Structure 1
Amino acid sequence: MKKTIFLLLASVSLSACSLLPEPYKTPVSQGNVLKQEQVAQVKVGMSASQVSYLLGTPMVRDSFAPNEWHYLYTSLYADDNTKKSEIDHLVLIFDNDILQKIEQR
């Protein structure tokens, strides 16, 4: 009889945990956080040092294409039912340390 009552109380108390709301999930951001104001200041014809001053160090400098700077930013938001991710990719192409082209992928 005591075992039955104990098992009944244990099952009721453990099932109450499922009624609790899920904990807060922090958005995860990785990479270079670039604001639109910063990107808008970058213009073709700027030097590499000026661009580096405005945007910071690029996330990727490809050894096979040393004149390309890649700025990557990923945000992951998770709520109860869905996961959303945003990816921003800015590519700057230089020639002789002068910015020639801006691509947003």
Structure 2
Amino acid sequence: MTRSPFLRFSPVAAALLAAITLAGCAASADPDRRFAGLITPYRMEVVQGNVVTQEMAAQLRPGLTREQVRGLLGSPLLADVFHADRWDYVFTIRRQGAAPQRRHVTVLFQNDKVLSFEAPQLPSEREFVDAIDVAKVERRSVPLALSDDQLRQLPLPKPAETAAAPAGSAASAPARAYPPLEPLPAR
């Protein structure tokens, strides 16, 4: 009776399987490590708190009310009952392919008015978007208005033709009268 080759090498196969399994466990413990150098496990994107940018912080000044601050920065992530005159805006983001970010802005109140605020170096809105953009697609900003030179280069509109249109065309149709959208004031 001959033994099958599989049964003869089964301890070796078991050891190899155990080594691969342990390597997989070790790779999943470190978020930057890839399994077998090829596979990156999915990491859920975690965003907590309010994004506070330079533009938002520039509008914050002493004397604003709590409601005005809430309108500018949103509701604070931390508003402690024991420190009622302090609001903490904490922002964290972990996104696969981008560096994790963490910021902390503290607003101090006195008599429901802003007394002072502490903000670290905050990014502008464009810098923030660039920092979390994992696609790194080059975007060209399109101007929303034409410059004076561009306006001068546009062709002038053709004057309306004054020749009489045929009787059945839309140009000869009587102007339509529509009822007003709002009632006319009483006289």
Query: Which entry has the higher C-alpha Rg, 1 or 2?
Result: 2
Note the alpha carbon deviations across 1:60-83, whole angstroms, 9 max, x for none. 11111101111111123566xxxx
Give aligned-pair identity as a percent: 32
Corresponding residue of 2:107: 92
> Which of these residues, 65, 71, 78, is aligned with residue 89 of structure 2?
71
* CA displacement at 1:27 relative to structure 2: 3.9
- Counterpart amino acid of residue 6 in structure 2: K
Structure-to-structure mapping, 1:15-94, within 5 angstroms: 19=36, 20-77=38-95, 85-94=100-109
More strand, by proportion: 1
* CA displacement at 1:101 relative to structure 2: 0.3
Greater relative contact order structure (CA < 8 Å, 6+ sep): 1
Corresponding residue of 1:3: 6
Q: Aligned partners of 2:59 and 2:90: how far apart in 1?
A: 18
What is the SS of the residue equivalent to 2:106?
strand
Provide TM-score, normalisation by structure 1. 0.68
Cα RMSD of the aligned pairs, angstroms, is 3.2
Structure 2 unaligned regions, length at least 5? 11-15, 21-34, 121-187
Provide TM-score, normalisation by structure 2. 0.42
